[in-house]
Amino acid sequence: MKHTGHLAAIGLIIIVSLALPAAAGDSDAVEFMGVTYPSPTAYAQSEAFQAFGMRCGTLPPDFYPEIPLDAPADCTMSSTNPDPIYDPGPVYEIPVVVHIITADDGVTGDLTDQMVQSQIDVLNEDYLAIAGTAGGDGTYTGLRWVLATEDPDGNPTTGITRTANSNWFNDNDEQGFKTALMWDPNRYLNFYTNNTQYLGYSWFPQWGVGGWNDGIVIYYRAFGRPTSFPPYHLGRTATHEVGHWVGLLHTFEGGCGNPALPYCYTTADRICDTEPDQTAHYYCTPGTNCGSYRIPIENYMEYTNDACMTLFTVEQMRRIRCSLTSYRPNVYTVIDSTLFADGFESGDVSAWSAAVP
């Protein structure tokens, strides 16, 4: 299945042609809707890239029905109750598997293990708000990401798989490649890297977990840090898409909404401490919208450049942890946060293990 994301969701019948060629640099031409751009970066800075929402292909929250739960949740698709009970206590550690899909040659689209680890590092910097990093001024969520060390059958693993398939590399047959490659989505976060026409697309837990579509696809040139794809070269595409995977909506979802309490918990992004946001914003240009409200260019759930994304808000953090405990209770292990006192917050499992008595 070709993932058509926002294009299908808004009812446009458009054939999107995007071919991102083989070389590892940023000198390859990109064809998109009949226009040739000299490089992926030129494409990413084009009006067409913005007009068709290619920053993120995650479908709108009302695209699929919400699954019922045995008990009411504080973080449904329609509302948020940011109860302080969701404030971080123990660390939630989540195992990650990265499925690298290359072209048939096994080279085009490949990523080094070091590049994969750099993406895990970025996720931890952003979700743990590690001091001295770009995410250090954000809100600590208490979520820690590690490459899986054990596969679903209990065998040792690096948490990285590689598959050569040009059809899958070009993001065709989404159901096929996810079904073939996925590890139990109830127990792992599955990343797939390929030549997707979007920078990434994800799945909300409120739609149900454990199915073939429960995972995150990332354009291979936007995965890790630093890549050859400015301004999306610092790993924040994954931070953004993981935000959806843990229940967050775009800051501009539904436009300005009603910023007054309590209506801001049931309109727009269902969060009250994010500024009202009328539409997607690119680049890092400050400004106002929805009257006199500041544009949240630093929020990970906007569409701005990687360099200006630095934070989640407190209420976004509470919705994240609510979504995990309510919808993904089997994907994380509870870790005593005091184990990180020596600063082993990165995804380097060997370094972290060395600190355990």
Question: What digits encode the pLDDT tens for the residues 201-245?
Answer: 999 999 999 999 999 999 999 999 999 899 999 999 999 999 999
Q: Is the pLDDT of residue 184 over 80?
A: yes
Q: pLDDT band for position 170 (50/70/90)?
A: very high
**Residue pair 337/344 in contact by the 8 Å Cβ criterion:** no
What is the average per-residue pLDDT within 54-77? Answer: 95
Q: Distance between CA 103 and CA 108 in Å, rounded?
A: 5
Q: Which tens digits make up the pLDDT trace of 263-315?
A: 999 999 999 999 999 999 999 999 999 999 999 999 999 999 999 999 999 99
Alpha helices in 147-222 (DSSP H): 166-169, 174-181
33 within a domain of the structure (yes/no)? yes
Pairing state between β 200-201 and 143-147: unpaired
Q: How many CB atoms lie within 10 A of CB 186?
A: 13
Confidence class for position 148, pLDDT limits 50, 70, 90: very high
- pLDDT value of residue 280: 97
Tell me what pLDDT residue 338 has: 65
Domain assignment present for 185: no
Q: Single out the catalytic residue among 174, 241, 253, 345.
A: 241
* Confidence at residue 27, expressed as pLDDT on a 0 to 100 scale: 53
Mean pLDDT, the chain, whole residue set: 89
Token duo for residue 277 = 């946001």
Domain limits for position 22:
5-51
Task: Kindly report the length of the chain.
Answer: 357
Q: Tell me, yes or no, whether 276 lies in a domain.
A: no
The sign of the CA dihedral 264, 265, 267, 268 is: positive
Q: Which helix (H) or strand (E) holds 58?
A: none
Mean pLDDT of the region 175-191: 99
Q: How many domains does the chain have?
A: 1
Predicted local distance difference test score (pLDDT) of residue 30:
83
Report the pLDDT value the prediction gives residue 339, as an integer from 0 to 100.
Answer: 62
Long-range contacts of 330-333 (CB under 8 A, 24+ apart): 330/186, 330/187, 331/94, 331/95, 331/185, 331/186, 331/187, 331/188, 331/189, 331/209, 332/92, 332/93, 332/94, 332/143, 333/92, 333/93
Q: In whole angstroms, give the CA distance from residue 54 to residue 241.
A: 13
What confidence tens digit (pLDDT) does each residue in 103-114 have? 999 999 999 999
272 inside domain: no
Q: Confirm whether 241 is a catalytic residue.
A: yes
Whether the per-residue pLDDT at 348 is higher than 60: the answer is no
